[in-house]
A and B are shown apart, each in its own frame.
Chain A
Amino acid sequence: MLEHIALGQYLPGSSVLHRLDPRSKLVGLLIFMLFLFISRHPLFLVVAIGIFIWTFSVSKVPLIYFFKSMRLIGIIIFITLLLQLFMNNDGEVLFQFFSVTVYSGGLTEGLLIGGRLFILVGMASLLTLTTTPVDLTDGLETLFSPLKKWRFPVHEMAFMISIALRFFPTLIEETARITKAQMARGASFSHGSPWKRVKTIIPIFVPLIVQSLKRAEELAVAMEARGYVGGEGRTKYRQLYWKGLDTLVISIITAYAVLGVLTRLL
């Protein structure tokens, strides 16, 4: 039942995008998103689409996986497009069908907003498809580390996220195991009144919580036994390496941002 749930949506691979430093991917994505809506100049839009297509092709992510991750957002984009088509009254009348009138402004606005939304979410998807959750947290931790000056517990937060990520599959496995054990004892999740079905959660929920608390305590003991103290002065086993490629990516994105500002101003 639960075997199809993957954590995040990371797809193992060794493409250029997989090998990029998570920091450059995160910063690059942030700049890309911020400036995507700054200009409507055709040249800029072509560059944005170009970057998106280039990123996609270089990621070697199979098309099916990409579209799977876009399914939900696809619906929202489609609705946006429809709303723009029917509600926007700018420009010339393109065609009329009974009481529905479609204006050219609606079409261009719809395509513009829908297209940009698609690219925006697509890029974010590509990031999570090619970056392991651990790399993402590591990247976020370093990027947010300046906040330590204001006593924000960056390391602790990142560590909590990593632990949560680490134990997520364990939790799913455990849920599946307990569910099976209770099913073997005749618990049924597929028939009975709605109230009866809600009540069937209890035999799964109680053992799951008990086990999780136990595991958390064991983990705490194990960490203390090995002298874990956290944050200050702690080195990392997994090092992040900033390579020439990362600088290149950031340069391209910066150039794109500058182009966006220029086309907006001119």
Chain B
Amino acid sequence: MEIKANDVTVKYMVGTPFEKVALHKINFTLRPSTYHVFIGKTGSGKSTFIQLLNGLLKPTEGSMLIGEKVVNRKTKMKQLYHLRKEIGMVFQFPEHQLFHDTVLEDVAFGPMNLGVGKVEAEKRAEESLSLVGISPSLYMRSPYELSGGQMRRVAIAGVLAMEPKVLVLDEPTAGLDPVGHIGMMELFNHWFKAKEGRSVILVTHNMEDAARYGEEIHVMYDGERKLVGTPSELFTKETKLNEYGISLPNTLSLLMELQRASGQALITDHFEIDDTVDEIVSFLRKDIENNA
């Protein structure tokens, strides 16, 4: 699904002394079937941008093209409703949205809202619950009896059960432990790869995730998209990134330090920890050979 922003400006509290421009004339296209990552400082406009995607927010000026659908200031709320079938959104701390008596009912809430029958909705709910790794023994429990990590998985299952084409994730791993973090990110990647034509739009402060999963990284700063590129294109622009308040992935910044200190060129377009270790090992080997 292609998503296009045409001269989109978003302002909050228009007409009051508190008026604030959150997005300033943004103009770009998000390629379909791609893992997009948005990075940028707090207040750079990332969260505002993702709310435009499923019509939770309308542009103050300009228009969004989401698939076939045009959204501008005058679009009626009722029309935006249909966007929510296509675009699934996982907010920060999604476990705060749970409310039903049982886990299964809560996950089925989304599909039922889309007009899917009860039986079909529960079938979808079971599928997505097993996808996120919630065992059937928990289906009839209250979501409030679960652990924090389980609650989050249930909430995410609730979004996946709507079978969206685009999954929008706003810092989905905030507050998780490192193991839970990796598990969650792998889950999204698995969902992304499981079917042709799916997209992910991830908002994150975690540069390791951006480098590992992102196919296209967008840098937001001060309500505008300043940079875009693949991880290896982007993370070579260190000075520019610093200007926008963005640091390099830890693996890369270690290699850059080593490069600066030794004065030797290193391969710096891989970000995985294993690649970094390999690179350091080969550097050390060369160093020993040279000394010998």
Nearest-neighbour CB distance to chain B for A1, whole angstroms, equals 10
Residues B1-35 near A (CB distance < 8 A):
12-13, 16
A210 to B151, CA, bound (A): 14
Closest A-chain residue to B161, C-beta based? Answer: A185
Q: Are B85 and A184 in contact (CB under 8 A)?
A: no
Is A34 interfacial (CB-CB < 8 Å)? no
Q: Are A191 and B113 in contact (CB under 8 A)?
A: no
Residues in A with CB closer than 8 Å to B110 are: 185-186
Closest A-chain residue to B95, C-beta based? Answer: A207
Residues in B with CB closer than 8 Å to A206 are: 99
Is B54 interfacial (CB-CB < 8 Å)? yes
Residues in A with CB closer than 8 Å to B113 are: 185-188
Is B98 interfacial (CB-CB < 8 Å)? yes
Is B139 interfacial (CB-CB < 8 Å)? no
Q: Are A181 and B78 in contact (CB under 8 A)?
A: no
Nearest-neighbour CB distance to chain A for B189, whole angstroms, equals 21
Q: Are B98 and A207 in contact (CB under 8 A)?
A: yes
How many residues of B sit at the interface, in one of the four size bands? 20 to 34
Q: Are B99 and A184 in contact (CB under 8 A)?
A: no
Nearest-neighbour CB distance to chain A for B117, whole angstroms, equals 14
Q: Are A207 and B77 in contact (CB under 8 A)?
A: no
Residues in A with CB closer than 8 Å to B99 are: 202-203, 205-207
Interface centre among B54, B56, B88 (most CB of A within 10 A): B56
Select one of A3, A4, A183, A203 contacting B109, CB under 8 A.
Answer: A203
Q: Are B89 and A178 in contact (CB under 8 A)?
A: no
Q: Are A207 and B84 in contact (CB under 8 A)?
A: no
A181 to B93, CA, bound (A): 10
Residues in B with CB closer than 8 Å to A3 are: 12-13
Is A211 interfacial (CB-CB < 8 Å)? yes
Select one of A180, A186, A187 contacting B91, CB under 8 A.
Answer: A180
Residues on B facing A (Cβ under 8 Å): 12-13, 16, 51, 54, 56, 77-78, 81, 84-85, 88-89, 91, 94, 96-99, 109-110, 113-114, 144, 158-159, 162
